[in-house]
Amino acid sequence: MPQAVSYSPRSVPLGLRLTIRAVSGTAALISLLPVRRIRRLLSRLRKGAAPAASAPVLAAYQAVVAVSLPCAGPEGCLRRSLAIVLLCRLNGIWPTWCTGPKTLPPFTAHAWVEAEGRMVGEDLPDGYFRPLISVPPFVDD
């Protein structure tokens, strides 16, 4: 989990900074909802978006944590993950949004995004968290 921002918010273009502030505020409001309602809302928002590759999701992650201090903090995982999926959706792509516990004691809940089957932006090994709830890209059958 990010402990410090390694780059300046000014490294992010002004228009993108304003967009991130808007999605971060929206993410803060969404994070107040029960998880089942968050999943339902995200399931609707993902429709029409292409599955995301790792590189653009990582760029969204880095921009969000550079601009939004609440998203960059260790307690900001839910807001951060929601802001990232919202920012990605504005760009026409959708990563997998996940939430679940750590696989080893002590119990810790976490929310993160995945692309191409791997966590994005987290300095943790694969399998460190077990996704209990996820919202993958929409597949039209």
Q: Quick one: pLDDT at residue 6? A: 55
The answer to whether the CB of 85 falls within 8 A of the CB of 93 is no
Domain ranges (residues) in the chain: 9-135
Q: What is the pTM of this model?
A: 0.92
Helices 14-30 and 77-90 meet at what angle, rounded to 10? 130
Q: Quick one: pLDDT at residue 10? A: 77
| Run means of pLDDT, 10 residues per run, the chain, 141 residues | 56 93 98 96 97 97 95 93 98 97 91 96 90 92 55
